Amino acid sequence: MSCVLIPVGLSRYAFISGVGHTAAGSTPSTTAGTSLEILGYTGPAESSIWTLNCHSLEITAQWTNVDGTSPAIDSFVYDSSISSLNIVGDVDKFQKKYPDDGAVAVKFIFIPVAA
């Protein structure tokens, strides 16, 4: 995969995995490397995508497309068919395109550890 565009309303997605550093807001890097390379995935990667809402403690992501646009990220899904977490532009479209994957929408919530 040479480019990743995640527009709202389509089933496209990006894997969540270990990755080398990329600057916040930068377009995907083809040289950052990912922990998925051992599986043959050599697509683009981003690392500085995370935001913590200090009131709700929800962790969200903001992907930047190769054309520099930053689509609204609908959610994350857990794809049980390959045990992966993915960023998706549209959960419903993703689930319809991959109905046998058992993908479910998930949220990331920060849970502080008491001192």
Segments in the chain below pLDDT 50 = 1-3
Q: What is the pLDDT of residue 1?
A: 30
Q: What is the pLDDT of residue 74?
A: 67
Q: What is the pLDDT of residue 33?
A: 67
Question: Minimal CA–CA distance to 63: which of 75, 79, 52?
Answer: 75
Q: What is the pLDDT of residue 110?
A: 95
Q: What is the pLDDT of residue 6?
A: 66
